[in-house]
Structure 1
């Protein structure tokens, strides 16, 4: 079963939306040791990149 088939058959859930730049909890530490809050925008971008890498591998 492909990722697209799984996505098409998966039940849809309502996901709460946050302001894209509002911290959603948690942080990362950059190379200089600075704490950077994780935002909704960062999570969405990471999910898109992961999905794109899975689709490219399945071809």
Structure 2
């Protein structure tokens, strides 16, 4: 029994198109739906890590 497979490029293109669906979306001030990207999540995590670092006290 031989199963026909989709070409890799087609599968990859579909995966890229659907990828944002798992990450959700935000609504901006104008009511537009903005997909949440992996890059947005990584940037937010980096910011949280920076904010969680103890600050060095200069005085006292």
| TM-score under structure 2 length normalisation | 0.54
> Greater CA radius of gyration, 1 or 2?
2
Instruction: Give the unaligned 5+ runs of structure 1.
Output: 1-18
Structure 1: 4+ residue segments shifted above 3 A: none
Instruction: Give the unaligned 5+ runs of structure 2.
Output: 1-15, 56-60
SS in structure 1 at match of 2:29: coil
Relative contact order (alpha carbons < 8 A, sep ≥ 6): 1 or 2 greater?
1
For 1:13, the equivalent position in structure 2 comes to none
Aligned length: 37
| TM-score under structure 1 length normalisation | 0.55
SS in structure 2 at match of 1:31: coil
Question: Which structure shows the bigger proportion of residues in helix conformation?
Answer: 2
